[in-house]
Structure 1
Amino acid sequence: MTPPSAKLFGFGIIFSMIFSRSFSCSFTMLNNCPHPIWPATLSGAGSPPLPTTGFQLDPGQSVRIPAPVGWSGRMWGRTGCAFDESGAGTCQTGDCGGKMECGGIGAAPPATLFEITLGEGEDRDFYDVSLVDGYNLPLVAMPNGAYGRCNVTGCRADLNTDCPKELQVVDGADGGEVIACKSACDAFGLDEYCCSGEYASPASCKPTFYSTIFKRACPTAYTYAYDDGTSTFTCKGSDYTLTFCPT
């Protein structure tokens, strides 16, 4: 019997070959991790869902997903997933409602996110890699076939190894492996960490002790809500390669 991941992998290749000319851009997801991951996609308001919203990607595999003109949304990798034949199950990190195909459900934090809005016509794309909702996997995004200021961005560091104890998500009981690192907002729920309430402006919401830890490890990643200056990039790319666990 053909594994579900192989079917999805083949579907992604066939779909991109047949329909790529009718799309403005594509996303190539590459798993450089020593274990399977389950990439997921979520379309923003007004953008249609991509051909797949969740699938398994084994070590060394890559899948190319086409996206229509003006598409906006986010992508992330899930870890520690187990699904039955109907696609129901759970993931240890990045879960989206217990489904293989997320179908419009976002990532449960903490999760490392790639966010992008594709420009229409000659308009440039805007993109970032965000740790605002925490961190679960190293992720780097690289524009290809592009023009404009096309920076590689992301987070190569393994933040799970240096995650403060109060932010750690641990596999199993105390003493288990750290599988994700929460944001301070998610961990404590305080306005100063969430940039909410009296801190809901760029003037009042500043980097904190915790966001600075993330920023030092991953200088180009978004680390809090108003971290635009060093974290948002513009480009006009024909493809973006998202590498999980880059070397």
Structure 2
Amino acid sequence: MGNFSTGTVYLVFVIFSLLVAKQSEGLRVFTIINECKETIWPAITPGEQFEGGGFALKSGQSRVFTAPVGWSGRIWGRTGCNFDQDGNGTCETGSCGSTLKCGASGKPPATLAEFTLASADYYDVSLVDGYNLPVVVTPVNGNSNGGGNCTVAGCDGDLRLNCPKELAVKFNGRTVACRSACDVFDTDQYCCRGLYGNPVTCQPTYYSKIFKDACPGAYSYAYDDPTSIFICSDADYIITFCSKRKEKVCAYHGNRLICSGASIINSIFSWIIPMFSTVISWWLWI
């Protein structure tokens, strides 16, 4: 057996690490895709597993991350951002202060994808804090063994197009987001608090019905649970900005294109294992 280069050792290490990671029980794969026509800046809290909680994503780009069981957090998109080389700047919507990497929640209004990862994962898309972008969550490689609704969640309608003027957020004459009625009017009825702080008295309002009509698979107000909470076991998740709920959603893993309805883990193994075998054989030969 001959000498081998540092690059060869690194490649073997990377492939082996991927194999171990995919086989490790309790990891969920998150693929974040931007199908919007412009660059967005996804934000994640807590963001330790997600490149520190924020990054730029150009139109058509995607990023892949893993998060462990026990992670509970939210993902949203920021728009109209301008960051300098040190990651300092501002956004038209969704800002988490003045930094690219988010350590705190975003400023409303923002469409939120929310997750709690456990033996059965809970996830939803919420408009309770308002709306700024269409967001769809597609589970793949999962099941409904726990009796949950393991299907596509999200908001694929564009509320910016028909946002009531009293809720609209304008920037240079454009409607860039739609605030919640609670945020604008700050009443117990719209905020589901006080006498309205339970699911019996807090009912849909004129404004929440507008949100629900545009986004039937998302929370439109605080107690909109029956049609808005989703439960999956052993799933991975594709979070797509500016997609349709009924669209087949695809993401690249390595050199393979994986689409909703397919098993990401099995597909990853279908190209990693042959590659791993090839590299080991080549290493032994040289």
TM-score strictly above 0.5: yes
Deviation string, structure 1 residues 30-68 (Cα, Å, up to 9, x no partner): 00001000001013xxxx732420000001000011101
In the alignment, the residues of structure 2 paired with residue 222 and residue 128 of structure 1 have an alpha-carbon distance, to the nearest angstrom, of 7
Alignment of 1:126-205 (within 5 A): 126-148=122-144, 149-172=149-172, 176-205=173-202
1:4: which partner in 2?
none
Q: Please tell me whether the aligned partners of residues 31 and 62 of structure 2 are also in contact (alpha carbons under 8 angstroms).
A: yes
The alignment of Structure 1 onto Structure 2 pairs a total of residues equal to 223
Equivalent residue of 1:151, what SS?
coil
In the alignment, the residues of structure 2 paired with residue 28 and residue 189 of structure 1 have an alpha-carbon distance, to the nearest angstrom, of 36
In the alignment, the residues of structure 1 paired with residue 242 and residue 75 of structure 2 have an alpha-carbon distance, to the nearest angstrom, of 15
Correspondent of 1:227 among 224, 229, 234: 224
Q: CA deviation at 1:238?
A: 3.4
Deviation string, structure 1 residues 199-230 (Cα, Å, up to 9, x no partner): 11111111110000011111110011111011
- Structure 2: gaps spanning 5 or more residues: 1-13, 245-286
- Structure 1: gaps spanning 5 or more residues: 1-12
Q: For residues 88 and 116 of structure 1, do their structure 2 counterparts lie closer, same or farther at Cα, with a shift above 3 Å needed?
A: same
Correspondent of 1:42 among 45, 59, 73: 45
Correspondent of 1:217 among 214, 217, 221: 214
Residue type at the aligned position of 1:141:
V
Segments of 4+ moved more than 4 angstroms = 16-19
1:207: which partner in 2?
204
Q: CA deviation at 1:24?
A: 1.2
1:101: which partner in 2?
101
Q: Please tell me whether the aligned partners of residues 24 and 238 of structure 1 are also in contact (alpha carbons under 8 angstroms).
A: no
Q: CA deviation at 1:153?
A: 1.0
Deviation string, structure 1 residues 64-123 (Cα, Å, up to 9, x no partner): 1110122111000000000011111001000001110012x101000000001011xxx2
- 1:66 aligns to 2:66 (yes or no): yes
Q: Please tell me whether the aligned partners of residues 39 and 79 of structure 2 are also in contact (alpha carbons under 8 angstroms).
A: yes
Which of structures 1 and 2 has the bigger CA Rg?
Answer: 2
| TM, length-normalised to structure 1 | 0.86
Q: Please tell me whether the aligned partners of residues 156 and 218 of structure 1 are also in contact (alpha carbons under 8 angstroms).
A: yes
1:5: which partner in 2?
none
- 1:239 aligns to 2:249 (yes or no): no
Q: For residues 101 and 17 of structure 1, do their structure 2 counterparts lie closer, same or farther at Cα, with a shift above 3 Å needed?
A: farther
In the alignment, the residues of structure 1 paired with residue 20 and residue 134 of structure 2 have an alpha-carbon distance, to the nearest angstrom, of 30
- 1:88 aligns to 2:88 (yes or no): yes
In the alignment, the residues of structure 2 paired with residue 97 and residue 30 of structure 1 have an alpha-carbon distance, to the nearest angstrom, of 23
Q: For residues 18 and 92 of structure 1, do their structure 2 counterparts lie closer, same or farther at Cα, with a shift above 3 Å needed?
A: farther
Residue type at the aligned position of 1:20:
A
Q: Please tell me whether the aligned partners of residues 41 and 50 of structure 1 are also in contact (alpha carbons under 8 angstroms).
A: no
Q: Please tell me whether the aligned partners of residues 143 and 237 of structure 1 are also in contact (alpha carbons under 8 angstroms).
A: no
What is the root-mean-square deviation in Å for CA atoms of aligned residues? 1.9
Equivalent residue of 1:162, what SS?
coil
2:35: which partner in 1?
32
In the alignment, the residues of structure 2 paired with residue 155 and residue 225 of structure 1 have an alpha-carbon distance, to the nearest angstrom, of 16
Residue type at the aligned position of 1:143:
P
